[in-house]
């Protein structure tokens, strides 16, 4: 994440992105290769990030909307997996998503930057370093050139220096990391389903979710980086370790505790199993404690951009948000309700805070299969890594405990926690827990990594189309399914980390250990007549890499010393 500062080039030697002398309404499309100040691929040259620029053709200085991504060539962006395309002379042609189509005619530049080592960038996967280098260039503090090697210097003298970083998934994680870096000029970030704590994304409370071979960013690399970046990736894996311990590396990529100077508009789906909602909840709470201007767009969907949930409302919100924080327009957006919340499928409400004020309630399981105020007895589970929590919910490979039918609807909100007391007959054991709403209902189809939306054949258009870059996108609709249960929160842990995430230890077979950890955050209304269920198991086959070695253990849960704590309140809407 090293930055290049203090760049000043003589005007006579600098190529600038300026419009032709005659005014034109056609946007200017260019690429700047921005120096990052690093040589991660060890080729003896300073790494350069390819920043594709589209900006108004006949205006003065404009603010920038920036999306830094590794996916512009390998995988695409948005519901239609759009990739960047280029004219025969290398000029950027298709800019994925609607940002360029909608915002460039409204006086913004849009910059789509390739993370180091991906698409047309050199270097290796340093996403935050790639993004901050571009912000530095846009503020005159870093060098850029008009070619990937050599070339003439270029300046962003058309930019005001005000930058907003936006993006979904990895792009959202990069925006969060950029905000945590404190980079000057980054005025706002809009992370969508983004990771704030990389440890929690890749390690479940001491239990690594995948083998080292199945982690990392190698699948996004261009052909050159795939070879040159092997030492870079190996170094990261070595620093991360395989023990599951929360070490210096994981602290360096945990952005939750870092101070943030930019405002934040964050989007998250409570049904997202790709980036679990505790990523949002933990960072949201930290932003609130620090007094950061923040708003949230929360749905019951999976790993989905709000553009594919409420298209008109989201685009309008982005317009007001960027106008306020990038142009300084006093439009009052910061005074709007802090949270736009989908309470049940397609029912939305604007609320002033999240989570709401709740009453804490603790439930305990009993050997007779009930879930109530008191717990008793034991339960035994044979670990089976081939079975996951959805199968647990129907009675396979986990112990199930049910509460009494609810006499009235109740809203569960916030981050539930569990305290598990268990012993294993082996020196290692994974714990798996799920909270289930049992009862017939209709929900977004998010089970087993579903998105909760379906793609239609009609289109809607958002901004100005150009040859090779349409502003029209396939419409979407809610994907509903009738179910008899819904898993609303879950979590896993390594029992060997019961005392501390910093240091795991081998278990003494037969000895009971107590461990407390959070489940995924939720905002869920349980209807009257439904029952809450608690599932206790071992390895969650939906969460853990099947290439991990099976532990082959049998767990015995001490139910009198096992509990679930929830935040409860009455449904408001």
Residue 468 has pLDDT above 70, yes or no: yes
In the structure encoding, which two tokens stand for residue 269, read together? 């789906």
Look at residue 573 in the predicted model and tell me its pLDDT: 62
563 is catalytic: no
- Both tokens of 268, joined, read 């998250």
Residues linked to residue 113 through DSSP beta bridges, in sequence order? 51, 68
Give catalytic status of residue 42 as yes or no. no
At 508-544, the pLDDT tens digits run: 999 999 999 999 999 999 999 999 999 999 999 999 9
Identify whether the C-beta of residue 497 lies closer than 8 Å to the C-beta of residue 504: yes
Which position among 303, 485, 497, 498 bears the catalytic label? 303
Q: What is the CATH number of the domain that holds 493?
A: 2.60.120.260
Question: Domain boundary residue among 329, 351, 373?
Answer: 351
What is the per-residue pLDDT across 74-99, written as a single tens digit (0 to 9) for each?
A: 999 999 999 999 999 999 999 999 99
261 part of a folded domain: yes
| Residue 3 in domain | no
Q: Give the phi and the psi of residue 98 in degrees, each rounded to 5.
A: -100, -5
CB 534 within 8 A of CB 433: yes
Residue in this structure with the two tokens 């598990």, named with its chain if needed: 420
Of 66, 40, 315, which is closest to residue 175 (Cα–Cα)? Answer: 66
Is 409 contained in some domain?
Answer: yes
Question: Which residues are within 8 A (CB) of 546 and not within 5 positions of it... i.e. 6 or more apart?
Answer: 385, 386
Question: From CA 158, how far away is CA 155, in angstroms rounded?
Answer: 8
Contact 438, 484 (CB under 8 A): yes
Residues 136, 186: contact at Cβ < 8 Å? no
DSSP-assigned letter for residue 549: P
**Domain for residue 42, yes or no?**
yes
Question: For strand 531-537 and strand 430-444, is the pairing parallel, antiparallel, or unpaired?
Answer: antiparallel
Q: What is the mean pLDDT of residues 408-433?
A: 98
Q: Band of the pLDDT at 25, cuts 50, 70, 90?
A: confident
- For 465-496, the three-class secondary structure string (H helix, E strand, C coil) is CECCECCEEEEEEECEEEEEEEEEEEEEEEHH
Catalytic site includes residue 121? no
Render the burial of 313-347: b for 16+ CB within 10 Å, e for the rest: ebbebbbbbbbbbbbeeeeebeeeebbbbbbbbee
Per-residue pLDDT band for 58 (boundaries 50, 70, 90) equals confident
Q: Are 444 and 480 in contact (CB under 8 A)?
A: yes
Instruction: Tell whether 293 and 396 lie within a shared domain.
Output: no
Q: Are residues 293 and 347 in the same domain?
A: yes
Residue 94 in tokens: 């298709």
How many helices (H) does the chain have, and how many strands (E)?
10, 32
Is 394 found in the same domain as 343? no
- Is 218 domain-assigned? yes
For residues 347 and 363, membership in a common domain is answered with no
End residue of a domain, out of 300, 321, 351: 351
Q: Which of 69, 130, 169, 217 is catalytic?
A: 169
pLDDT number for residue 572:
78
Q: In the chain, how long is the greatest CA-to-CA distance?
A: 83
| Same domain? 345 vs 376 | no
CB burial string 50-61: b at 16+ within 10 A, e below: bbbbbbbbeeee
Give the pLDDT band of residue 204 (cuts 50, 70, 90).
very high
Same domain, 309 and 387: no
314-359 pLDDT tens trace: 999 999 999 999 999 999 999 999 999 999 999 999 999 999 999 9
User: Mean pLDDT over residues 192-217, rounded?
Assistant: 95
Residue recorded with tokens 């979710």: 209
| Assigned domain for 4 exists | no
**Residue from 52, 171, 245, 272 carrying the catalytic annotation:** 272
Average pLDDT over residues 500-505: 98
Do residues 278 and 386 share a domain? Answer: no
- Write out 23-45 in H/E/C secondary structure: CCCCCEEEEEEEECCCCCCCCCC
> What is the rounded average pLDDT for all residues in the chain?
94
Residue 316 and residue 441 in one domain: no
Range of the domain at 477: 359-569
Q: Residue 115: give its domain's CATH number.
A: 3.40.50.1820
Is the confidence at residue 3, as pLDDT, over 80?
A: no
The two three-digit tokens of residue 258, written as one number: 């870092």
pLDDT of residue 396: 87
CA distance 432 to 204: 10
pLDDT of residue 317: 98
The answer on 113 and 22 residing in a single domain is yes
Q: Which residues contact 251 (CB under 8 A, 6 or more apart)?
A: none
State the total domains in the chain. 2
- Pair (315, 436) in one structural domain: no
Which 3 state secondary structure label does DSSP give 436?
Answer: strand
- How many angstroms separate the Cα of 104 from the Cα of each of 28, 97, 280, 469, 471? 10, 13, 29, 13, 12
* Percent of residues, the chain, with pLDDT higher than 70: 96
For the stretch 267-278, pLDDT in tens is: 999 999 999 999
Whether residues 54 and 171 share a domain: the answer is yes
What's the confidence (pLDDT) of residue 213?
86
Q: Is residue 5 part of a domain?
A: no
The answer as to whether 443 is a domain residue is yes
Note whether 70 and 129 are same-domain residues: yes
**pLDDT tens, residue by residue, 359-408:** 999 999 999 999 999 999 999 999 999 999 999 999 889 999 999 999 99
Domain boundary among 351, 386, 404: 351
């Amino acid at each position: 994440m090293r930055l290049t500062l203090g760049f000043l080039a003589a005007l006579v030697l600098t190529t600038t992105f300026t419009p032709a002398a005659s005014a034109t309404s056609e946007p200017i499309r260019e690429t700047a290769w921005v120096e990052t100040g690093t040589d991660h691929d060890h080729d003896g040259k300073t790494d350069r990030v390819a920043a594709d620029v589209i900006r108004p053709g006949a205006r003065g200085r404009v603010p920038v909307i920036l999306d830094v991504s590794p996916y512009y060539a390998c995988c695409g962006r948005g519901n239609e997996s759009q990739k960047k395309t280029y004219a025969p002379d290398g000029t950027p042609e298709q800019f994925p998503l609607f940002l360029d189509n909608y915002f460039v005619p409204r006086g913004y530049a849009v910059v789509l930057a390739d993370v180091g080592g991906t698409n047309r960038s050199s270097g290796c996967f340093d996403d935050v370093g790639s993004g901050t280098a571009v912000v530095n260039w846009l503020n005159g503090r870093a060098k850029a050139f008009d070619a990937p090697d050599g070339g003439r210097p270029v300046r962003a003298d058309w930019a005001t220096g005000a930058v907003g970083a936006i993006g979904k998934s990895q792009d959202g994680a990069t925006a969060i990391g950029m905000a945590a870096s404190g980079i000057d000029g980054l005025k706002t970030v809009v992370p969508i389903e983004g990771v704030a704590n990389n440890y929690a994304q890749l390690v479940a409370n001491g239990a690594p979710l995948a083998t080292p071979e199945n982690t990392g960013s190698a699948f996004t690399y261009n052909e050159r980086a795939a070879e040159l970046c092997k030492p870079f990736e190996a170094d990261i894996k070595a620093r991360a370790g395989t023990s599951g311990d929360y070490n210096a590396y994981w602290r360096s990529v945990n952005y939750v505790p870092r101070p943030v100077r930019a405002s934040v508009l964050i989007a998250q789906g409570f049904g997202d199993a790709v980036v679990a909602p505790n990523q949002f909840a933990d960072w949201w709470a930290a932003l609130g404690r620090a007094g950061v201007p923040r708003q949230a767009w929360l749905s019951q969907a999976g790993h989905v951009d709000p553009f594919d949930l409420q298209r008109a409302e989201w685009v309008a919100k982005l317009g007001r948000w960027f106008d306020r924080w990038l142009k300084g327009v006093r439009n009052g957006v910061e005074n709007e309700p802090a949270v736009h919340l989908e309470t049940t499928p397609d029912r939305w409400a604007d609320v002033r805070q999240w989570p709401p004020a709740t009453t804490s309630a603790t439930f305990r399981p009993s050997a007779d299969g009930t879930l109530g105020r008191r717990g008793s007895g034991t339960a035994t589970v044979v670990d089976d890594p081939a079975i996951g929590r959805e199968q647990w919910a129907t009675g396979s490979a986990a112990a199930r405990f049910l509460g009494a039918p609810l006499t009235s609807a109740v809203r569960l909100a916030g981050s539930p926690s569990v305290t598990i007391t268990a012993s294993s007959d082996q020196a290692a054991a994974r714990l798996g827990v799920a909270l289930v709403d049992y009862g017939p209902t209709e929900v977004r189809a998010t089970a087993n990594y579903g998105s909760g939306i379906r793609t239609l054949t009609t289109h809607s258009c958002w901004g100005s189309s150009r040859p090779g870059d349409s502003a029209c996108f396939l419409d979407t609709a809610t994907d509903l399914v009738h179910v008899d249960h819904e898993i609303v929160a879950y979590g896993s842990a390594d029992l060997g980390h019961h005392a501390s995430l910093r240091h795991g230890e081998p278990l003494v077979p037969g000895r009971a250990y107590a461990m407390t950890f959070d489940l995924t955050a939720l905002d869920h209304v349980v209807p009257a007549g439904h029952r809450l269920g608690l599932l206790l198991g071992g390895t969650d086959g939906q969460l853990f890499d099947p290439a991990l070695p099976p532990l082959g253990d049998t767990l015995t849960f001490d139910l009198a010393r096992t509990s679930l704590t929830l935040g409860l309140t009455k449904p408001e809407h």
